[in-house]
C-alpha cells in the first residue's frame, strides 16, 4: 500500500471551538433542543452559550465536523505528519489561537483565513447520557471567502496537491462556490471527492446547493436520520435505509469513471454501504453501554478513520473497518479527542 505524502487529504469546513458540558432535560427544553440533533444558533440561544460556559465541568476542544475528521485521519496514519490540509475561517482572537494550537498539535496543516469582523465560531455540545445536542454559532466560520483564500495561488496549490477531498455538508451554508470549485477540480482530475449530509437541516433548507454539488460526489456519508430526511426531500418514497442508499448511489454523476459509494452509519446498528451494485451491511464493533462517555464526534471519527484507509488506497471494507475502529475509540472519551496512538491493524 502506498504511504501517503503530505497534503494528500484536503478538508474545508467550519473550524469551531467545542464547548461541551453535561446538561439535563430541563436545559434542553429551556432552549428547545432535541436529543441527537444539530442546529445553527439563533438569537434565542445566545444565553445558552453563557450558561453552558458556567457549568462546573465544561470542556473546550477544537472542533468543527470536517476539522475533526481530518484530524482523526491524521491520527490514524501517524506518519508522515501534515497528510491532511484544512481550510476554514477564524477570528483574530483567543479562541482562534486555541484552534491554531490544537491543529498544530494534531499535525494537521491548517491554513485559516483570519478576519477580525467576527469572533471565532463555537459549538455548544449539550451532553445528556449517551446523547448529544449540538448548537453551532458559526460567527467567523461563516465569513470564509473563496476569492480571499481558496483562490490564492499558494492555497490553490495545496488543493491541487491532494488526491482525496472531504467537505461536510455544513459548509454548504457558508461557501457553496468554494465547494463547487474543489468538487469540479476533483472530478476533472479523476480524484475522489467526499461529502457528508451532516444534519437533517442541510437537506431541508440547503437542498439546492446540496443537489448542485451531488453530481461531483464520489463518496457520500450520512447517518440514519440524515438519510431519511434526504430521502423525504428527494421524494424517494421509502424509509428503508438500504433502498435509500441504492437510490442515492444512482443519482446523476459527472465523473462516470468512478461509481458513487454511499455509506450510512446507524449508531450501534450496522453501517450500510453500497458495494458495486448491491447494498451491504457492516456490523459495528461491540461496546458495553457503560463505556460510552460521549457520542459527540462519533460520526466525524467514522469518516476520519474511513478517509485514513481511503488515502492509503485500501478497499471499501477496510475503510469501513477503520471508520468503525475510530468511532469506537472516540465514544469512550469526552469530545472528539483520542489517545496518543491508535491500536489498529
Q: What is the layout of strands, in order, in the sheet containing 9-12? A: 109-115, 84-91, 9-12, 164-168, 192-196, 219-223, 261-266, 269-275, 278-282
Residue pair 138/121 in contact (Cβ under 8 Å)? The answer is yes
* Angle ∠(42,44,47) on CA atoms, nearest 5: 110
37, 239, 300, 343: the active-site residue: 300
CB contact at 8 A, 220 and 263 = yes
Q: Is 300 one of the annotated active-site residues of the chain?
A: yes
Cα–Cα nearest to 146, from 182, 122, 110, 185: 182
CA distances to 1, 200, 227, 258, 325 from 271, in Å: 25, 18, 12, 21, 13
Residue 307 pairs in a beta bridge with: none
The number of beta carbons lying within 10 Å of the beta carbon of residue 193 is 25
Q: List the catalytic residues.
A: 300
Amino acid at each position: 500500500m502506498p504511504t501517503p505524502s503530505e497534503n494528500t487529504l484536503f478538508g474545508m469546513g467550519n473550524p469551531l471551538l467545542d464547548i461541551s458540558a453535561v446538561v439535563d432535560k430541563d436545559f434542553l427544553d429551556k432552549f428547545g433542543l432535541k436529543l441527537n440533533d444539530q442546529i445553527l444558533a439563533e438569537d434565542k440561544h445566545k444565553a445558552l452559550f453563557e450558561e453552558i460556559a458556567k457549568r462546573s465541568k465544561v470542556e473546550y476542544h477544537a472542533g468543527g465536523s470536517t476539522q475533526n475528521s481530518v484530524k482523526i485521519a491524521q491520527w490514524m496514519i501517524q506518519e508522515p505528519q501534515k497528510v491532511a490540509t484544512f481550510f476554514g475561517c477564524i477570528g483574530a482572537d483567543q479562541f482562534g489561537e486555541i484552534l491554531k494550537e490544537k491543529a498544530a498539535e494534531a499535525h494537521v496543516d491548517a491554513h485559516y483565513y483570519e478576519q477580525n469582523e467576527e469572533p471565532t465560531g463555537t459549538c455548544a455540545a449539550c451532553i445528556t447520557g449517551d446523547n448529544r445536542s449540538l448548537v453551532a454559532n458559526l460567527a467567523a466560520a461563516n465569513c470564509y471567502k473563496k476569492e480571499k483564500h481558496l483562490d490564492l495561488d499558494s492555497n490553490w496549490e495545496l488543493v491541487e496537491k491532494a488526491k482525496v477531498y472531504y467537505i461536510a455538508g455544513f459548509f454548504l451554508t457558508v461557501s457553496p462556490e468554494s465547494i463547487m470549485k474543489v468538487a469540479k477540480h476533483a472530478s476533472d482530475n479523476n480524484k475522489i471527492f467526499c461529502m457528508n449530509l451532516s444534519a437533517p437541516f442541510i437537506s431541508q433548507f440547503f437542498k439546492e446547493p446540496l443537489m448542485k454539488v451531488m453530481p461531483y460526489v464520489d463518496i457520500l456519508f450520512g447517518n440514519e436520520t440524515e438519510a431519511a430526511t434526504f430521502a423525504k426531500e428527494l421524494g424517494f418514497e421509502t424509509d428503508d435505509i438500504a433502498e435509500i442508499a441504492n437510490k442515492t448511489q444512482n443519482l446523476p454523476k459527472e465523473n462516470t469513471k468512478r461509481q458513487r459509494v454511499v455509506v450510512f452509519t446507524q449508531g450501534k446498528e450496522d453501517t450500510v454501504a453500497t458495494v458495486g451494485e448491491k447494498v451491504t451491511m457492516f456490523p459495528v464493533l461491540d461496546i458495553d453501554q457503560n463505556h460510552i462517555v460521549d457520542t459527540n464526534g462519533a460520526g466525524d471519527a467514522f469518516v476520519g478513520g474511513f478517509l485514513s484507509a481511503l488515502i492509503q488506497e485500501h478497499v471499501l471494507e477496510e475503510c469501513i473497518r477503520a471508520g468503525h475502529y475510530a468511532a469506537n475509540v472516540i465514544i469512550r472519551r469526552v469530545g472528539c479527542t483520542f489517545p496518543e496512538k491508535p491500536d489498529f491493524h
